[in-house]
Structures are given as structure tokens and as C-alpha cells.
Amino acid sequence: MTGTDPSQSSVVILSCSLNPKSQSHKLALAAQACLRVREVSVALVDLAEHDLPLCDGVGSVDHPSVKTLAGIIDAAGAILVSSPVYNYDLNAAAKNLMELTGASWTDKPVGFLCAAGGRASYMSPIGFANSLMFDFRCLIIPRFVYCTQDDFTEAGEPGSEIRARVDQLAATAVDLSRALAWVRANGDSDPPR
Ligand SMILES: Cc1cc2nc3c(=O)[nH]c(=O)nc-3n(C[C@H](O)[C@H](O)[C@H](O)COP(=O)(O)O)c2cc1C
């Protein structure tokens, strides 16, 4: 079986909140832990630690931080976006990252982990997902992790139900990444049984 070596799978988690007390960042850490348990190579990018320019459509893509992040995303088999919900959408930092590095997302599976103030905004990742599908032909994982304060423990950690959903999402991202890698490596061959 060629092209399906599990050690070749890798996931990048893009943690997009700039809030030092971010809840979505805790979802990103939970996803990282799940992937490590599964022995999947994982890179966690915390946008709060990167001095990214705002996309101007001209020179911003040449910024060294943009090149670094584009390289990390390029190397990943799947992407998990962990983001706050702002104004019934993901936050502007997430959109800016997509504008700066979008070409690096091309044809990759993408999943979402969102922290929100209330339950009513649960469809908020859809606009961002549409952009990724139309612009970069990303494969959107149709299972979001969406949580509010009620889903966190008194200690401020994701509760057990959310952890289980994070694990499901992480597992799906890895499965899709491996399946795509196999198809790309093996073309018309029959898939492994
Ligand atoms: C500018 C702004 C806009 C927000 N808009 C929404 C919203 O539309 N829907 C919602 O449920 N929560 C909204 N919230 C609440 C955040 O989603 C919530 O605080 C969440 O925990 C932020 O994620 P973070 O902790 O990872 O930064 C908003 C918060 C801010 C600061």
C-alpha cells in the first residue's frame, strides 16, 4: 500500500483569536492533544504570536511572517481553523490569514472549531467555508465544533462532550488527509480493502 503511510499525515491548527484568555485557543490545544495521541504530526499556529500585516493585495504576501505561515500550511495534509465568532462570522484575523495565505490552502480538507458568546450564531463559519470552497477548492469537513461558555468546565477547560467532538473532528481531518494522499499517489489503482 503506497502513499498511505500514517506517519506522512500532518495537520496544521490555526488558532485565530488574539485574546490572551481565548476559549477557541483552548479548543485548538484540545485538538493538538487529540492528534498527538493519534501520533499524527501537528503544528499549532497561534496568530497572537505572529506579527502579520493586513492584506493589501500587493506587498503584504512578501512579509517574512506570511511566508513562514504559508510554508507551514503548504506542508499540511489538513487544516483545522480554531476561531472566535465575531459578528456572525469568524474574526477578521482569520479572514486576513486566508487572504494572505489562501493559495496554500488549495485542495486541502478544512475543519472548524469555534468559540462563541451564544448558541444562535452556530452557522457563523459558513461564509468563511464558502470562500474556501469557491476560491481554493477546499474540502470542508461537515462537522463543526461550536461551543459557548456553558461547554467549558469551572476551571475553564473544554468539557468532556466538547472534547469528544474535537476528537471526532480531528480524526475526520486525518482520515480525509490520508484518503486524499492515497488517491493522489495511486491514481486509478483500486483502493486498499
Ligand atoms: C467584536 C465581537 C463580536 C462578537 N460577535 C459575536 C457573535 O456574532 N455571536 C456570538 O455568539 N458571539 C459573539 N461574540 C462573543 C465571542 O464569540 C466570544 O467572546 C468568544 O469566546 C470569543 O472567542 P475567543 O475567546 O477565542 O476569543 C463577539 C465578541 C466580540 C468581541
Which pLDDT does position 148 carry in this prediction? 98
DSSP 51: -
Radius of gyration of the chain (CA): 16
> Is the pLDDT assigned to residue 3 strictly greater than 60?
no
Beta strands in the chain (DSSP E): 10-15, 41-46, 78-86, 89-90, 109-115, 139-140, 145-147
pLDDT in tens, 113-134: 999 999 999 999 999 999 999 9
C-beta separation of 179 from 147 below 8 A: no
CA 98 to centroid of ligand 1, rounded, Å: 19
Instruction: Enter the CATH code of domain 8-186.
Output: 3.40.50.360
- Beta carbons within 10 angstroms of residue 102's beta carbon: 18
Q: Cβ neighbours of residue 52 under 8 Å, at least 6 residues apart?
A: 63, 65, 66, 69, 93, 96, 97, 100
* Ligand 1 neighbours by CB, cut-off 6 Å: 17, 19, 22-25, 84-88, 115-118, 121
Give the cell for residue 168: 471526532
Number of residues in the chain: 193
Domain ranges of the chain: 8-186
pTM: 0.95
Centroid of ligand 1 to alpha carbon of 185 (angstroms): 41
Q: Which of 29, 85, 91, 95 to mutate to test the pocket of ligand 1 (most atoms within 8 A of CB)?
A: 85
- Which pLDDT band, with edges at 50, 70 and 90, does 7 fall under? very low
Q: Which atom of ligand 1 is nearest to the CA of 27?
A: 26
pLDDT over 70 at 165, yes or no: yes
